[in-house]
A and B are shown apart, each in its own frame.
Chain A
C-alpha cells in the first residue's frame, strides 16, 4: 500500500513539474494575483492563463494530500499513531500561518511576521516528528511532507512577490527534491543489489546541479541569449559579453559533462547488474541524448511550448532514474584486510 501510494505520489510529482513548466512557458505565473486563492476563490472561472495556473495549484494540493497519507500510513506501520496527530497539528500550523500571511500580504502588501513565525514553528514541529519516527520510511515521508509544503510556500512567494528569480529557481529545486524522495519511498523496500555507487552519487549530484543551472537560465531570461549552434556569437566561450551569455553557455557545456558522467556510470552499472537496474542504467544515456536534442530544439523553435516543457520532463525523468538506481543498490561490503602472512 505504502509503495503504491509513493509511486502514485511520484507520478503526481511528475505531472506537477510538467504543469509548473506549462505555467512558466505560457506566462501564466501571475494569472492569479492572490495566493492560495485565485481572485479570492478556491475554484475560479477556469479560462486561459487562470486555468493553467490554478490547475497547477490543484495538482499541488493533490500531491500534498498524497504526502499526508504517506506520513499517516508509515507512522501507523511503525506503531507511532500518536505522532500522526502531532504531524497533523504542525502541518496545519504551517499551512494556516502561510495562508493567513499570504492573504495579508495580498491585501496590505506587507508580510506579517506572526505568519512567518507560525510557519517556522510548524516546520520545526514537523522536523521533530521526523526525528522521533522509528521507521526510515516514516522519516522519509515526514521529510517529503516538509519539502512539499516548503515548495508550496515558495509557489506562494512567486505570486506574492511577482516572480523573483531566486524563488523560482528554488521552487523547481524543491520540486525535484520532492520527486526524488517519493521515488526513494516507492522503491525503498525492494531488495538492494550490490554495486559501486560513488560514481552514481556524483552523476546524480551533477544532474541536480544541471537542473538548477537550467532553471536559472530559464528564469533569468537567458534561454535565447545565444541563438547560434553549437557556438555562441561565433565562439565556444565568447569574451567581453554579459554574464547571462556565460550562464547560457555554462548550461550547454555542463550538459556534455553530464553526458560523460551518465555514460560512464551507466555502462559500469549495466555491466555488473541485471533486470530492472540494468534497464534503468541503460535508459539514462538515451535520455541524456534526447535531452540535448530537446535543448537544441528549444533554441531553434524559439522556446516552443512542446520542446521547452519536454526538456523539463526529461530532466525530471533523468533525475528520477538515477535516484531509483541509488535507492535500489548498496555499496559492496568492505574487503577485510589481510593481517600479515601466515606463519
Chain B
C-alpha cells in the first residue's frame, strides 16, 4: 500500500469520527434567593488577616450558579490517554485557586504554595485521605500527584480551615465547570445516550438523561433553588 493510500484510509477513519463528536452544553440556574456571602474569619493568621474575604462557596449572580462540576457519569468511554498538560492548584492569599477545576484519571495534578506562610495540603476522595503534606512557604517544592480514581477530590488546609478546593475527576474527561454566567460546555462527546450529573459543593448532586445526536449539540440545563442539601 502506498503512502497516499494509507493517508486516505486514515482520513476516512478519523475525519468522520471527529465530525461526529458533539457537545453537551447548557446552564445551571439558581432560582432561589442567593445567600449573602458571610465574612471569612481569617484573623487567626496575621498574613491571611491582611485581606478581608467573603465565603465563596455559593456564587450565584443573575440567577446563574458558578462553580458547578458538570460531568457525564454514565455512558461515557474512558479517555484513550490522559491529557499531557498538568492541572494546577495554587494557594494564594490563603485561598485555593482555582476553587474548582477538573482532571482526568492518569492526569498529573500539581499543588503550589504562593503564600509566604505554611499551608498543609490535605486532600480527600470521599472519606479517604489521598495525601496530607505541609508546604512551609512559597519556596516549598510543588507537590505532584497523579489522579487515580474518579470522584470529587476535596482539598483542605487544616491550618486555615476556611480553605477549600475541588477537582472533579473522571475517566472520560467529559466534564466542565460552570463559569460566572452559569454556562458549561462539554466537548468531544460521541453520539449516544448519557447520564449527566451536576455537583455543587453546598447543594449537592442532580442528574439528567441526555441523548447526543450527530450534527447538533445537546442541551442540558440544571436548576438549584437553594433548598438542596448535600455536597461537600
B: number of interface residues (CB 8 Å): 30
Residue of B nearest to A303 (CB): B158
Contact B44 A28 (CB under 8 A): no
Residue of B nearest to A247 (CB): B44
Within 8 Å of chain A (Cβ to Cβ): is B112? no
Residue of B124, B127, B161 touching A221 (CB-CB under 8 A): B161
Give CA–CA (A141, B180) in the complex, Å.
57
Q: Residues on B close to A: CB < 8 A?
A: 43-46, 49, 118, 120, 122, 124-129, 132-134, 151, 154, 156, 158-159, 161-162, 204, 227, 229-232
- For the complex with contacts A48-B126, A303-B120, 15 further pairs of A-B residues with Cβ separation under 8 Å are A22-B127, A30-B232, A33-B204, A47-B126, A48-B151, A109-B227, A221-B161, A224-B120, A227-B118, A241-B46, A244-B43, A301-B132, A302-B134, A304-B129, A305-B129
Residue of B nearest to A301 (CB): B132
B213 vs chain A, min Cβ distance (A): 33
A: number of interface residues (CB 8 Å): 30
Q: Which residues of B lie under 8 Å from residue A34 when comparing CB positions?
A: 229
Q: Residues on A close to B: CB < 8 A?
A: 22, 26-28, 30-31, 33-34, 47-49, 51-52, 106, 109, 221-225, 227, 241-242, 244-245, 301-305
Contact B127 A302 (CB under 8 A): no
Give CA–CA (A227, B231) in the complex, Å.
30
Q: Do A245 and B227 form a contact, CB below 8 Å, given A302-B158, A305-B129?
A: no
Give CA–CA (A224, B46) in the complex, Å.
14
Q: Which residues of B lie under 8 Å from residue A51 when comparing CB positions?
A: 127
Q: Do A225 and B159 form a contact, CB below 8 Å, given A27-B154, A242-B44?
A: yes
Q: Do A225 and B124 form a contact, CB below 8 Å, given A33-B230, A305-B129?
A: no
B142 vs chain A, min Cβ distance (A): 17
Residue of B nearest to A220 (CB): B161
Q: Which residues of A lie under 8 Å from residue B231 when comparing CB positions?
A: 30
